[in-house]
Amino acid sequence: LATALSAKIQAFLARPSLQDYRKVEELAKEQWSTIKVELLTNLRTQTSSTAHKAKVDIFLNEGLIDEAIEVVADFSSYDSSSIHQVMEAAIPHRPDWVIENACKRAESIVAQSKADAYHLAIEWLRKARAAYLQSNRESEWSIYCDSLIKTHSRKRKFMELLKPLT
């Protein structure tokens, strides 16, 4: 058992993943609280691109929303799955971050008139809308939508996609 635990810890340290993290937790039993601190400390120092996914998964698993936000804050929209994952978890805890981040990403797509990417803008706006509604700010969402409609009324494809969210 000690050998298996040691091997899993080494595997985690070499290439962190939520799967290995959970396996270490399972094997560690009463030692978990001590080992957990060590694993999280090590994880925070990891900088590889593969560690980013593990950081997001593990921080969200541990309810460390702010740390997960920190990981994805500067990600480009090409890393959207991790960002969406963090936004989903952050809606109840950090709705302002979700709104600001999602709207900025959506507006960037729409401003560039990238019609083939409008569906991506809508996905960002869905997150923003959920955060507005979660924080009882439906009127602010309506005002924001009105401003989008005013600014982009000639972009028919975007208007059609936006309609269900208004």
> pLDDT tens digits, residue range 143-164?
999 999 999 999 999 999 999 9
Query: Do residues 99 and 128 touch, judged by C-beta distance below 8 A?
Result: yes
User: What is the distance between the alpha carbons of residues 7 and 113, in angstroms, rounded to a whole number?
Assistant: 51
Query: Do residues 95 and 56 touch, judged by C-beta distance below 8 A?
Result: no
The separation between CA 124 and the C-alpha centre of its own chain, rounded to angstroms, equals 11
Residues comprising the chain, all counted: 166
User: What is the distance between the alpha carbons of residues 68 and 70, in angstroms, rounded to a whole number?
Assistant: 5
More confident residue, 4 or 64: 64
pLDDT band of 79, cuts 50, 70, 90: low
Kindly state the average pLDDT of the residues 112-135.
Answer: 94
* Residues sharing a CB contact under 8 Å with residue 154, sequence separation 6 or more, in sequence order: none
Q: What is the pLDDT of residues 120-130, one digit of tens each?
A: 999 999 999 99
Q: What does the pLDDT read at residue 80?
A: 83
